[in-house]
Amino acid sequence: MDPADKILLDHGSGGRIAHRLLRDLLLPAFDNPALAELNDGAILEVEGSRLAFSTDSYTVDPIFFPGGDIGDLAVNGTVNDLAMCGARPLALSAAFILEEGFPLEDFRRILGTMARAAREAGVAIVTGDTKVVPRGAADRVFINTSGIGLIPPGVRVASHRARPGDRILLSGSLADHGVSVLAGREGLAFQTTVQSDTAPLHRMVAAMLAAGGEAVHVLRDPTRGGLGTALNEIAESSGVGVLIHEETIPLKPEVAGLCELLGFDPLYLANEGKLVAFVHPEAAEAVLAAVRADPAGRDAAWIGEALAAPAGRVVMQTRIGGRRIVDMLSGEQFPRIC
Amino acid sequence: MDPADKILLDHGSGGRIAHRLLRDLLLPAFDNPALAELNDGAILEVEGSRLAFSTDSYTVDPIFFPGGDIGDLAVNGTVNDLAMCGARPLALSAAFILEEGFPLEDFRRILGTMARAAREAGVAIVTGDTKVVPRGAADRVFINTSGIGLIPPGVRVASHRARPGDRILLSGSLADHGVSVLAGREGLAFQTTVQSDTAPLHRMVAAMLAAGGEAVHVLRDPTRGGLGTALNEIAESSGVGVLIHEETIPLKPEVAGLCELLGFDPLYLANEGKLVAFVHPEAAEAVLAAVRADPAGRDAAWIGEALAAPAGRVVMQTRIGGRRIVDMLSGEQFPRIC
């Protein structure tokens, strides 16, 4: 490592360079099997129970955006990370870093949103922390939520469990959160009706697992880095190829339009209320029905399948008939999207 | 609330105004019994096991200080919050907010310190998160650690369990962490040999509980806000009076000297490797022996006792024979001490 090396915005992108940081610095430092699994949360055995444990810090800018704010984002984000482990969320923590001068009214509004999101998700915020730093040492408010969930017996979802032949389900339209935040930041919010999709997904997951059981191999919420990065992570962890079909991917016309306008690829924009699932074909229809029965899953669709080869690669059949490699997010920068 | 009201540095002090924020804004928003207990962590019942769950964000400035850095502080701090619930720490999360441009070498050094601290504490860092914000949106690095611990059967420590007659134990010298950070910040570090006391305390706690069982009523690590604030919290939660004797409080001469020089009261400076315990007299000697057997507890001392009155107040018998009320930290500002 060159001693002049510095943290770049890319290190937080969720993409290729962020993975390199994780593999080169964090995993070797904190070497342990739970962390090395690289799921959305760790799985711990405690006195015969299987617990999921997850953490995320939220630095989204702007803190208020169409369809949500940093508060419900922070609650739903960690609820969903637990859900992607197949867990039922039990409890959340909330830790705030506040900048001196931050309006109490904004803080109160964010706490209200968090409380409402926690109630809607049926999970309690049981412990917390508040730090204040001098003006200029942080930008308004950062929130960390961590969470504990309980994994029911028989549930075995993990990012390495995708198998050739699995069908790939996306629970709804792509890139709504990313576009709403970017539009808010660019002052384009007034031009669009796009809202963040921030929503808790644990009930949808419970229904999927009830319908599909162990046939549900992988669950992942494609947040930072988007669907493209999430599929690459799964392809790599499982050693399978992934083929997706562009024309089957749900995308709202106004999201597609704003992506064109702003020059962004919806495959790499963040989603905060969507999941991607790898499901054995035998359970495919039952799982899809379970997802569609959830209000957040009405637009769910099959978008592709896992293949034996090329292992670790994601390929997209495009609308015009060609094929393109979908790499991890690389080089593009969407700082503070969540 | 005046809409012009803003977050002040005092809101993060751990003192009076921070408590008001907690009681007026956070508790009503997140209303639930575990949070309302105001212990260092929440206690959850999960399938017959009692889990402790705690979170803390670290924003200390400077990030490297005599005796430690933000990394071991973050690990030991959450290990100790779990220990103060009587729990054996099982697993930690680590979430980083990094400023663009932060030297990778410094990040690597902090990760190394965290890994070493986790190994020494016998706890694994099992899940994590890394966010990067643009230059100027945060100051170098903030770390959140959250943790899960298991509370053995029969352990019943809680901040409301102090009873009149309890003896009050302090496990070692006061204010070492606070003075080391403040001296580092003032450029006085070269003038002093004072080092932060950052250390894990869960083994000491396990030994105390083995020796004293349910006679150990309250455990608290007097971090932000110091011993003065911690004692006030306990007095308030338990509805007891607290009398401490200044001459019995362990204080290193160089810490006393720097407090004089910098104009700080050691009662309100942070400690990161000390605990205060309220113990029924019948177990006092056994508990003291257990604490002194730990390397971090060699200078442990009895510093006072709980009384029936004045309920909720802390009084100090001073060295010169008078009595003074020890209030919660109020007005003074030590931002970013941890």
Query: Using one digit for the tens of pLDDT, what is the confidence trace for B265-319?
Result: 999 999 999 999 999 999 999 999 999 999 999 999 999 999 999 999 999 999 9
Task: Kindly tell me if the per-residue pLDDT of B4 is higher than 90.
Answer: no
- List Cβ neighbours of B20 (8 Å cut-off, separation of 6 or more): none
The answer on pLDDT for B328 being more than 90 is no
d(CA B215, CA B163): 10
Chain A residue with minimum CA distance to B5: A104
Q: How far apart are CA A40 and CA A55, in angstroms?
A: 9
Contact between residue B250 and residue B299 where contact means Cβ atoms under 8 Å apart: yes
Are the Cβ atoms of A91 and B26 closer than 8 angstroms?
no
- Both structure tokens of A244: 């997706």
Across A146-160, average pLDDT: 95
With b for 16 or more beta-carbon neighbours within 10 A and e for fewer, the A1-39 pattern comes to eeeeebbbbbbbbbbbbbbebbeebbeebbeeebbebbb
Nearest to A29 among B5, B35, B111 (CB): B111
Distance (Å) from the alpha carbon of B57 to chain A's nearest alpha carbon: 6
In this structure, the number of other CB atoms found within 10 A of the CB of residue B28 comes to 13
Nearest to B44 among A90, A108, A128 (CB): A90
Which pLDDT belongs to residue B59? 97
CA distances from A146 to A47, B56, B166 (A): 21, 10, 35
Distance from CA of A165 to the nearest CA of B (A): 30
Report pLDDT for B2.
59
Residue A49: CA atoms inside 13 Å, Cβ hemisphere, count? 19
Q: What is the mean pLDDT of residues A237-260?
A: 96
Partner A contacted by B154 (CB < 8 A) = no
CB contacts under 8 A, B 119-148 vs A, are 124-134, 136-139, 142, 144, 146, 148
Q: What is the DSSP letter of B309?
A: S
- Contact (CB, 8 A) for B180 and B190: no
Predicted pLDDT of residue A331: 66
Contact B130 A101 (CB under 8 A): no
Euclidean distance between CA atoms A176 and A247, whole angstroms? 17
Size of interface A-B (CB pairs under 8 A): 292
Q: What is the pLDDT of residues A268-326, one digit of tens each?
A: 999 999 999 999 999 999 999 999 999 999 999 999 999 999 999 999 999 999 999 99
pLDDT above 70: percentage of residues in chain A? 96
Phi/psi for A162 (5° steps) reads -65, 140
What pTM does this model have? 0.95
State the smallest CA–CA distance between residue B302 and chain A in angstroms. 30
| CA distance to partner chain A, nearest, from residue B177 (Å) | 17
Note the ipTM here. 0.95
pLDDT value, residue B13: 82
Interchain pair B101, A29: CB under 8 A: no
- The DSSP call for residue B6 is B
Q: Which amino acid is at B129?
A: D
| Distance between CA atoms of residues A65 and A42, nearest Å | 30
Those of residues 5-44 in A touching chain B at CB distance below 8 A are 5-13, 18, 21-22, 25-26, 29-32, 34-35, 41-42, 44
Task: Reply yes or no on domain B3-151 having CATH 3.40.50.2000.
Answer: no
The CA R_g of chain A, rounded to the nearest whole Å, is: 19
Q: Which helix (H) or strand (E) holds B234?
A: helix B226-238
Domain topology for A159-325: Phosphoribosyl-aminoimidazole Synthetase; Chain A, domain 2 (3.90.650)
Minimal C-alpha gap between B233 and chain A (Å): 16
User: Domain residues of chain A, as ranges?
Assistant: 3-151, 159-325
Query: Counting beta carbons within 10 angstroms of the beta carbon of residue B330, is it exposed (0 to 12), middle (13 to 18) or buried (19 or more)?
Result: middle
CB contact under 8 A, B98 and A7: yes
Write the single-letter amino acid at B210. A
Is the CB of residue B286 less than 8 Å away from at least one CB of chain A?
no
CA separation for the pair B299, B172 (Å, rounded): 5
Interface of B with A in 63-122 (CB under 8 A): 90-91, 93-105, 107-108, 111-112, 114-115, 118
* Partner residue facing A7 (CB), from B44, B48, B102: B102
* pLDDT score at A332: 58
Residue of B13, B141, B146, B334 for testing the chain A interface, max A β-carbons within 10 Å: B146
Which residue would you say has higher pLDDT here, A37 or A61?
A61
pLDDT at B184: 83
Q: Radius of gyration over alpha carbons of chain B, in Å?
A: 19
Tokens 């407090």, located at residue: B259
User: How far separated are the first and last CA of chain A, in Å rounded?
Assistant: 29
pLDDT for residue A2: 59
Which has the closest alpha carbon to B251: B262, B231, B266? B266
Read off the pLDDT of residues A169-199 as tens digits, 9 standing for 90 and up: 999 999 999 999 988 887 776 677 899 999 9
CA distance A155 to chain B (A): 17
Element holding A279 (H helix, E strand): strand A276-279
| pLDDT tens column, A208-226 | 999 999 999 999 999 999 9
Backbone phi and psi for residue B38, each to the nearest 5 degrees, phi listed first = 55, 35
**Is B96–A57 a contact, with Cβ atoms under 8 angstroms apart?**
yes
Closest Cα in chain B to A126: B35
**Residue percentage of chain A with pLDDT more than 90:** 79
How far is Cα A230 from Cα A84, in angstroms, rounded to an integer?
12
Strand partners, A95: A129, A144
| Strand order through the sheet with A167-170 | A216-220, A276-279, A167-170, A301-307, A241-245, A314-317, A323-325
Exposed / middle / buried, residue A322 (Cβ in 10 Å: 0-12, 13-18, 19+):
exposed
- Overall residue count recorded for chain B in this entry: 338
**What is the predicted pLDDT for the residue at A4?**
64
Cα–Cα distance, B328 to B338 (Å, whole number): 18
Say if CB B143 and CB B58 are below 8 A apart: yes
| Cβ atoms B30, B241 nearer than 8 A | no
pLDDT in the model for residue B14 = 80
Among B31, B53, B132, beta carbon nearest to A335: B132
**Mean pLDDT value across residues A8-16:** 85
Dist CA A145 CA A56 (whole Å): 6
- The pLDDT of A112-129, averaged and rounded, is 96
Q: Which of B39-57 are b and which e, b meaning 16 or more Cβ less than 10 Å from the residue's Cβ?
A: bbbbbbebeeebbbbbbbb
pLDDT digits (tens, 9 = 90+) for B150-174: 999 989 999 999 999 999 999 999 9
